[in-house]
Amino acid sequence: MFSLAVDLTDVPVLAVGGGPVSARRVHAFLAAGAAVTVVAPTLCPALQPLPLGVRWHARGVAPEDLDGVRLVHTATGDPEIDRKVVEMAGERGIWCVNASASAEGTAVVPARASVPTPTGEVTVAVSSADPVRSVEIRNRISHDLRTEPTGLRPRRPHGGWVALVGGGPGDAELLTSRALTLLHSADVVVIDRLAPHSVLQTLDPDVLVIDVGKVPGRHAVPQHEINRLIVEHAHAGRGVVRLKGGDPYVLGRGEEERLACVAAGVEVEVVPGISSALAVPAAAGIPVTHRGISRGFTVVTGHDQIPQLPADTGHTLVILMGVAQLRDTATRLIALGRSADCPVAVVERGCTPQQRVTVAPLARIAGVAAARGVESPAVIVVGDVVRLGPDWAAGLAQCDELDHDRHDELDVLGIDLKASA
């Protein structure tokens, strides 16, 4: 076989067979702009309704179906019919793919993928005698192209740019394709503490990395200084990725940075990321909504808005930056009507190998968290959905072993401990 890429725009293509394999190829031929006709007695659900522009003859294949056709694909599920179709196509000098026995056809469709790279979209196409192996190799190459340094970083002749990129909750596997493309195009990466630092290893060595995250013993770089840095590098003609934790627009000051770029006349793009508000509960096995249990959720910080929150335990609260105020938050939620038994989970360092989940009823969560030395970063989930997580039952049993928690419980419930002692 000689590998070739062909232009199928408006080319008449005949697909013989109406099953799932044929359906997949029909959609691919259509995406390439071909004029597709299907011949098959019946169609599988993937071809119903018939995609726009496809003609269907509801019967078995006949020789006249090949008239005027320039490419045939046969996948009838019957090797005899497929062989016959290949033969009829051969007699007319038409390329024919035989899906049931690729070696018997006169054309093959390789395992394909389109991969975005800094210099544009690349098509990876792999064919070998073993189609399963071809798919594995295609996946491997596509993955490497997405995640490894490619040396494809384009030098832009025009001015600099800034991309405010959501890096997700900390696992580099949760970066979007767009995030990786821009990272591998950047001259400068300005990174937050909770962004996925492991992706930095995939950057070219001459990329300037500036860590603006707060680490113990060092203050975070102030916001106005971050704004100044990204604008300054862009004005110097560099491509800047501002890699932020989670999503730039979820409690992440993303809009402030975008406005600073706009005010300075810098081209800026915002790339959404997977917010820890959703990803971290999910990583702990807690769905923020679940039919029959919770129909909605609210994302808040630990500091404010508590009086406005629904008290119903069926409404899930997702609290970010809330560890330091956990006791105060729990006390106020109970005072404002949320049940003291409402389940709570605190998920530390979610989506990382160090993830740890602490659970307790609302009245006892502050004590249990203190006893276990819970620290930021953590996402706090308050609501009946917490019971669905795998840690609830065992965690609840552990609460009872912690004696001093009972004092915490009384404390949160507003009972004067000195008086009761």
Ligand X SMILES: C[S@@+](CC[C@H](N)C(=O)[O-])C[C@H]1O[C@@H](n2cnc3c(N)ncnc32)[C@H](O)[C@@H]1O
Distance in angstroms (rounded) separating the CA atoms of residues 327 and 395:
18
At residue 100, the 3 state secondary structure works out as coil
At residue 90, the 3 state secondary structure works out as helix
Residue 364 CB, shortest distance to ligand X, in Å, is 21
Q: Of the candidates 344, 338, 341, which has an alpha carbon nearest to the alpha carbon of residue 312? A: 338
- The answer to whether residue 391 forms part of the interface with ligand X (CB under 6 A) is no
Q: Which of residues 311-330 bind ligand X (CB under 6 A)?
A: 320-321
Closest to ligand X by CB, 333 vs 347, is 347
Closest to ligand X by CB, 134 vs 275, is 275
Query: How many other CB atoms are there within 10 angstroms of residue 179's CB atom?
Result: 25
Q: Which of residues 119-178 bind ligand X (CB under 6 A)?
A: 169-170
Distance in angstroms (rounded) separating the CA atoms of residues 282 and 230:
33
Catalytically annotated residue among 67, 130, 204, 214: 214
Q: Of the candidates 182, 175, 183, which has an alpha carbon nearest to the alpha carbon of residue 200? A: 183
Contact segment (CB under 6 A) with ligand X among 128-136, 181-189, 271-279, 290-298 equals 271-279
Place of tokens 């071909």: 34
User: Residue with CB nearest ligand X?
Assistant: 246
Contact segment (CB under 6 A) with ligand X among 231-239, 329-337, 374-382, 408-416 equals 374-382
Distance of CA 274 to the CA centre of its chain: 6
Q: With beta carbons less than 8 A apart as the criterion, state whether 152 and 119 touch.
A: yes
Contact segment (CB under 6 A) with ligand X among 37-45, 203-211, 370-378, 396-404 equals 370-378
Place of tokens 């996946």: 139
**β-bridge pairing 12-16 and 35-39:** parallel
Closest to ligand X by CB, 40 vs 378, is 378
Catalytic site includes residue 192: yes
Catalytic site includes residue 214: yes
At 331, which helix (H) or strand (E)? helix 326-335
Residue 188 CB, shortest distance to ligand X, in Å, is 21
Q: With beta carbons less than 8 A apart as the criterion, state whether 73 and 100 touch.
A: no
- The answer to whether residue 194 forms part of the interface with ligand X (CB under 6 A) is yes
Q: What residues does 376 pair with on adjacent strands?
A: none
> Which one of 1, 376, 406, 415 is in contact with ligand X (CB under 6 A)?
376
Closest to ligand X by CB, 34 vs 165, is 165
Distance in angstroms (rounded) separating the CA atoms of residues 308 and 323:
20
Q: Which of residues 224-263 bind ligand X (CB under 6 A)?
A: 245-247, 250-252
Residue 301 CB, shortest distance to ligand X, in Å, is 8
Distances (CA, A) of 252 to 10, 98, 177: 48, 53, 21
Contact segment (CB under 6 A) with ligand X among 113-121, 176-184, 276-284, 408-416 equals 276-284
Contact segment (CB under 6 A) with ligand X among 10-18, 78-86, 118-126, 274-282 equals 274-282
Tokens of 304: 């404010």
- Give the binding site for ligand X (CB under 6 A): 169-170, 194, 245-247, 250-252, 275-277, 280, 320-321, 347, 349-352, 376-379
The catalytic residues are: 192, 214
